[in-house]
């Protein structure tokens, strides 16, 4: 079995996807806290985000996202499902609530964020390949 070196472009796409996931999960947590006028912005955002960050890390490993970092199927969909389900489990395990309204909002927002940036990046990548740049 031979090991191939990653091209600079594929490494850039990998880093883009990883950083975008982290930033968008933090934006999800910050926006949710701000919409409820909750105090302690930095610590509170971490308190809200950590279950989803941990679940996303598990999702990256389980779905092998590094193979197709901006792929929607199966990587993006699996990552989203594991992030939402795992995030809710970790929230419950840490004594936080998981009201149905929160589950629905988290599912929709994380779908838009985690799948949306992948769809945009895949579109840009395809367009660049067609134009030869």
Q: What is the pLDDT of residues 32-42, one digit of tens each?
A: 887 776 666 67
pLDDT of residue 125: 80
Cα 126 from chain centroid (whole Å): 21
Number of domains observed in the structure of the chain:
1
Instruction: Provide the whole-model pTM.
Output: 0.87
Q: Of 114 and 1, which is predicted with more confidence?
A: 114
49 — pLDDT class (breaks 50, 70, 90) = very high
Dihedral, CA of residue 27, residue 33, residue 35 and residue 40, to nearest 10: -120
Instruction: Return the structure tokens found at 111.
Output: 């779908």
Answer yes or no: is 55 within a domain: yes
In a domain, 118, yes or no: yes
Q: What sign does the CA torsion over 13, 57, 37, 39 have? A: negative
For residue 41, being part of any structural domain is answered with: yes
On the CB side of 54, how many CA atoms lie within 13 Å of its CA? 14
Rounded to the nearest integer, the mean pLDDT of the chain is: 89
With respect to residue 16, please indicate whether it lies within any of the assigned structural domains. yes
Please give the residue range of the domain that contains residue 67.
8-131
In a domain? residue 3: no
- 44 within some domain: yes
> Would you say residue 99 lies in a domain?
yes
């Amino acid at each position: 079995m031979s090991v191939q070196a990653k091209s600079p472009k594929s490494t850039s796409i990998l880093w883009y996807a990883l950083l975008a996931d982290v930033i968008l999960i933090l934006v999800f947590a910050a926006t949710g806290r701000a919409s409820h006028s909750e105090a302690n912005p930095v610590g509170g955002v971490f308190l809200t985000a950590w279950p989803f960050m941990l679940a996303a890390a598990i999702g990256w490993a389980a779905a092998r996202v590094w193979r197709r970092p901006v792929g929607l199927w199966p990587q993006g969909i699996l990552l989203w499902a594991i992030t939402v389900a795992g995030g809710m489990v970790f929230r419950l395990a840490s004594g936080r609530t998981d009201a149905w309204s929160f589950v629905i909002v988290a599912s929709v927002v994380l779908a838009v964020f985690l799948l949306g940036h992948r769809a945009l990046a895949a579109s840009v990548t395809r367009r660049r390949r067609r134009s030869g740049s």
